Structure 1
Amino acid sequence: MGGVGKTELALQYALRYQDNYPGGRCWFPVRGLDLGIQVVSFGRTELGLTIPDELEFKEQVRYCWGHWPEGTVLIVLDDVASFSNDYKQRIKPYLPPAESRFKVLVTSRQRPGASYRRIDLDVLSREAALELLRKLVGKERIDKELNEAEALCEWLGYLPLGLELVGRYLDLHPTLTIAKVQKRLEKKKLAAKALLDPTAEGEMTAQLGVAAAFELSWEDLKDCPEAQQLGCRLSLFAQAPFEWSLVEKCVIETEDEDDWEEEQEELEELRDRVAWPTANRSLINRNLLQLTEQQTYQLHPLIREFFLTKLAQLPEADSYKESFCQTMVAVAKEISYTPTRDQISAVSPAIPHLAEVATVLTDWLRDEDLIEPFTGLGRFSEGQGTYDQAEPWYEKCLEITRSRLGEEHRDVATSLTYLANLYQAQGRYHEAE
């Protein structure tokens, strides 16, 4: 889990026990980076090694380890993403030799195999969380609002990174009460610049802080993967309210009426009473999954971004996107050339999500469905007389069909027809021709 202090613990260990490593301490961040390249670069620039160019790359790495200064060495591999095939390919071949003088310390959000000596970190206890706030904000200030501080720690889930973010903010704003800060947090002010600005030392960034803080809720759902998957699928909707019926159409695949009702009930249970409450005593009540006055739903914008990153890691991501696109294509096909007021009202909630498909998810549209989101959006605008809004959708439709399907495809001709009809409706007869 992110935000519990793995990197900080490794850093403090390296500093506290530096005398135990006369051969040096070397820190390698490995998430998204190549360990072998870092080792060779370190050998050349920091150790002053002259590595023979004729050696194969793996041999160059071995050369570095073989010519490392004498004495016990601490090698820190920070933020290993996984211990699966990626680890075996990008990290394991470049590890130091199995000699007692090389000590390797690994930080990771994933649990390694049984062969590793492991220290599991968790969120802080109530007492430790309060003590951290006292160190950041001041003992007198925390003890003066002790009940409010306890409530704040609980709201943050005792997550060290979340506590540090808020603690630094309180320290920078000495006139703010803790109750006032919690009120801002409860109103989803975690996205506010004041809460997420880097410190004077430049140690923190907004994206890392928010993502790590929300990791706690994600981790709480580990025993209910269906809820995690549902969160990921909800992130495909645009940052706008959506009707739950659209979610059902995306998720439920059966056509049998009895089976549909059963799965519909299970999905509602998952949403409202079983899975979501385990994330943070109800995401809906915490304003993470919002239930609007219109009885539609909407994800908090930062939670949506968080779920999108999780979606990218799922093997089912492509199928989820394809299902979402097909659902929205069905909506687009229902938009008539001359929609009535009632039809416009009925389809309006889906328009932002149809636009999301047309702007972000076109790669997951089937060729036979490619024009549907664009022409549906165009008809929706044209039917209301907003020709200036319809034209860009028809133009984009023509552009993407030409690019993906080829000039001779029938949908290119269809796109041209839509544009011509629009121009004619506007009296732009020369362009229509």
Structure 2
Amino acid sequence: MINRGTPHFVGRDPQLEQLHREFQQTDQLVICAIAGMGGVGKTELALQYALNNQHNYPGGLCWFPVRGLDLGTQVVNFARSKLGLTIPDQLEFNQQVEYCWGHWPEGTALIVLDDVPSFSNDYKQRIQPYLPPAQSRFKVLVTSRQRPGASYRRIDLDVLSAEAALELLRKLVGKERIEKELTEAQALCEWLGYLPLGLELVGRYLDIHPNLTIPKVQKRLEKKKLAAKALLYQTEQGDITAQLGVAAAFELSWEDLKDCPEAQKLGCRLSLFAPAPFDWFLVEKCVIETEDEEEWEEEQEELEELRDSFLVNRNLLQLTEQQTYRLHQLIREFFLAKLAQLPEADSYKQSFCQTMVAVAQEIPDTPTLEIIASVNPAIPHLVETATVLTDWLRDEDLIWPLTGLGKFYYGQGIYDQAEVWWKQCLEITRSRLGHHHPVVATSRTNLGLIYHSMGQYQQAEHLNQQALELFKQRLGHHHPLVATSLHNLAALYCSMGSYEQAEHLNQQALELFKHRLGHHHPLVATGLNNLAGLYCSMGRYEQAEHLNQQALELFKQRLGHHHPLVATGLNNLAGLYCSMGRYEQAEHLNQQALELFKHRLGHHHPLVATGLNNLAALYQLMGRYDQAEPLNQQALELFKQRLGHHHPLVATSLNNLAFLYQSMERYDQAEPLLPQALEIAEQMLGSNHPNTVTYRKNLESLRDIKK
């Protein structure tokens, strides 16, 4: 987790001593922040402190990069992979992180949080909850551009002293060469603002050009300084001269590429990626246009040569341990400014957008864990496309980056994030394409799905109805998207308890799917599955069973036996058999569905909670109360965690748990649950919804028993 650090570390002994003093506190958790401008050496100071003081931390040193990454996830992953901890899956995420800290190796431990973007609400929500407990054995070292509040121990890191800057140049370039041009070297350090990053880059530049004089270097820097001022955009307070020094140092590296304009252009194209690691194959897709295999391989080799010999070799591009690439944030800003000057800038942005559109189009409605892992590195770059580069998206592609982001989060059950992206999608498509474009209808459809899943049925109904009318108006009554819209509206009405409306729409959608897509399309299976679920709710079990079996076989045939929709089909058929009293068949299918949900979607997906809930209900009917109770409790907690405390499925879970306690004659535990379930149902579903009526009757029955 800890790198070796630079061999040219100078001028920071007082700060190292101050850090050591700050961490001598033994009565409580100590958090110390190193604050300073970009390029001033915050990370290097933290690294050198950690390396020099390993003996003081028998509990270990752990380094977590924070910017753009989730701290809690990193802690859990580190504990699993490096500490060998087995973390109970049933714990909520916050509890999993607490479990990790609670089982950390004995002894004082140093935890470094590198590059915290800010100490505002984002810090309080994404970092603070996952910090170690308030125990004196944990020492937390934070690096950040932003100064934290007065409650933090803080070291404000300034640029190097004139003496230290000169010493750094001596180490980089050679003592004899610097002493020969000492006055000029001092002037160069001053011009660079004594900033470590600028000194490092210029020192390396001098080292690889042994015949270049220091006055010549400074002359080049001074010639470029006006351009340099325009190349750095700095929102935080800091030394203006130092910022100029960094930009000018980058300008030298750019000038060094003048004999290879293709390398310069590649650097500019890389600046279109978000300030996060990216896979190289995405660059290849952006840059290489030929479809001929042999030509493609030749261009691939040329691209690799530009990357390795010109960008990586000159420290303009970083290769990460994960074999991805990234630009330093300031270098990225430098290349962005250069990109704006290129006549090809618009075409480069369009190519980048088309590449990210292709990534978004590969994200399915229900992404599995494997797909999530594979697409996750591209998410920051999809965000960049969806927020910064929309002007360079073609009209026909406009919807895709935002739709892909929505699917990424919706498929994981992270509905609030999906809502953000799909609301933005609706706004952008309406703004550019007008209110009556079919893509706007698709945006409404997606947003309707979110609100349905969130239990906000009235909003979902309004959006679905608008989408359906717009599809009919613009595409005709027999288009597949009309069928999809009918299907979504039918599923919503089923959830709302409006079974007659749902049946009519379901049948329409199913017939249209068959007519336009063929009888064996996966959407036909989805239509069969939903109609079966409706018939089960209506007590028409024989019709439901036939449709369920058809849907399940079609899912297996078209999608494979391990697709999440197969798990949905198994789960629905199990629920039907449970209602029909065929408990043994139901149990087998329930268990299959639950394992498949966990395996493909992860243990914390809302569909896993549904599977747990259904299996618990089955065990209750079978009189296996001891098995039912923990499953009910797991389902309830998972529903609350992923859907919020006021979702209709939370009400269902509360009702089921109360009914279980009633069956076990644990009336005092059952009694507080039913009013909660009834209140949620009345608020979210209305007083006349079948579920609300059931919960009310259950509450009355329980009170009668207790009289």
CA distance in 2, matches of 1:232, 1:369: 23
* Residue of structure 1 equivalent to 2:171: 148
One-letter amino acid matched to 1:257:
E
| Alpha-carbon offset, residue 414 of structure 1 | 0.5
Displacement of 1:205: 3.9
User: Does 1:164 find its partner at 2:190?
Assistant: yes
Could you tell me which of 261, 265, 285 is aligned with 1:225? 261
Q: Does 1:342 align with 2:370?
A: yes
CA contact (8 A) 1:161 1:213 kept: no
Mapped to 1, the partners of 2:186 and 2:169 lie a distance apart of 18
Between the aligned partners of 1:313 and 1:240, the Cα distance in structure 2 is: 24
Residues 1:320 and 2:314 are matched in the alignment: no
> Matches of 2:360 and 2:323 in 1, distance apart?
22
Distance 2:454 2:174 in 1: 61
Asked if 1:251 is matched to 2:287, the reply is yes
Indicate conservation of the 8 Å contact 1:290/1:299, yes or no. yes
Residue 392 in structure 1 maps to residue 428 in structure 2: no
Shift of 1:159: 9.4
SS of the residue corresponding to residue 223 of structure 1 reads coil
Q: Does the CA contact (< 8 Å) of 2:277 and 2:326 recur in 1?
A: yes
Kindly report which structure 2 residues correspond to 1:49-60, keeping only aligned pairs within 5 A, or say none. Answer: none
Amino acid at match of 2:449: N
State the distance in 2 between where 1:143 and 1:302 align. Answer: 24
Letter in 2 for 1:405: L
Secondary structure, aligned partner of 1:404? helix
1:276 to 294, 298, 311: 311
Relative to structure 1, the CA distance from residue 149 to residue 238 in structure 2 (aligned partners, 3 Å threshold; closer, same or farther) is: closer
Structure 2-normalised TM-score?
0.35
Question: 1:159, 1:213 within 8 Å by CA — same for their partners in 2?
Answer: no
Measure the CA separation in 2 of the matches of 1:260 and 1:269.
14
Q: Does residue 291 of structure 2 align to residue 265 of structure 1?
A: no
Give the corresponding residue for 1:382: 410
Shift of 1:313: 0.1
Q: CA deviation at 1:209?
A: 2.8
Distance 1:220 1:182, change over 3 A: closer
Give the AA of the match of 2:171: E
Bigger relative contact order (CA 8 A; separation at least 6): 1
Local SS of the residue matching 2:290: coil
Count of matched residue positions in the alignment of Structure 1 and Structure 2: 264
Structure 2 SS opposite 1:337: coil
Q: What's the TM-score, normalizing by structure 1?
A: 0.56
Instruction: Give CA deviations for 1:15-39 in whole Å, capped at 9, x if unaligned.
Output: xxxxxxxxxxxxxxxxxxxxxxxxx
The aligned amino acid for 1:256 is D
Q: Is 1:159–1:216's contact at 8 Å kept on the other side of the alignment?
A: no
Amino acid at match of 2:256: D
**Against the structure 1 CA distance between its residues 337 and 226, is the aligned structure 2 distance closer, same or farther, given a 3 Å change threshold?**
same
1:374–1:263 distance in 2 versus 1, CA, 3 Å:
same
- Work out whether 1:429 is the aligned partner of 2:462: no
Q: Which has the higher helix share?
A: 2
Q: Does 1:420 align with 2:448?
A: yes
SS where residue 349 of structure 2 aligns?
A: helix
Structure 1 residues 160 and 368, CA, compared in 2 at 3 Å: closer, same or farther? farther
- For 1:229, the aligned partner's letter is K
Deviation at 1:370, TM superposition (A): 0.3
Cα shift at 1:257: 1.0
> What is the CA deviation profile of residues 384-409 of structure 1, one whole-angstrom value per residue up to 9, with x for unaligned ones?
11111111100000000110000011
Between the aligned partners of 2:275 and 2:167, the Cα distance in structure 1 is 40
Distance in 2, matches of 1:146 and 1:350, equals 39
Task: Say if 1:403 and 1:329 are closer, same or farther in 2 by CA, change over 3 A.
Answer: same
CA 1:160/1:408 → structure 2, altered by over 3 Å: closer, same or farther?
A: farther
Letter in 2 for 1:415: S
1:364-399, Cα deviation, whole Å (9 max, x unpaired): 000000000000000000111111111110000000
Identity of aligned residues (%): 65
Q: Which runs of 5+ in 1 are unaligned?
A: 1-135, 170-177, 199-203
Q: Distance in 1 between matches of 2:385 and 2:318?
A: 22
Q: 2:318 aligns to what SS in structure 1? A: strand
Whichever residue aligns with residue 148 of structure 1, its letter is: K
3-state SS, counterpart of residue 236 of structure 1: coil
8 Å Cα contact 2:356-2:385 kept in structure 1? yes
Q: 1:307 aligns with which of 321, 335, 341?
A: 335
Q: Displacement, 1:146?
A: 8.1
CA contact (8 A) 1:137 1:167 kept: no
Partner of 1:290: 318
5 Å-filtered alignment, 1:63-78, equals none
Cα distance change of structure 1 residues 357 and 168 upon mapping to structure 2, 3 Å threshold: closer
**What is the CA deviation profile of residues 93-118 of structure 1, one whole-angstrom value per residue up to 9, with x for unaligned ones?**
xxxxxxxxxxxxxxxxxxxxxxxxxx
Contact kept, 8 Å, 2:192 with 2:244, in 1: the verdict is no
Root mean square deviation, CA, Å: 3.3
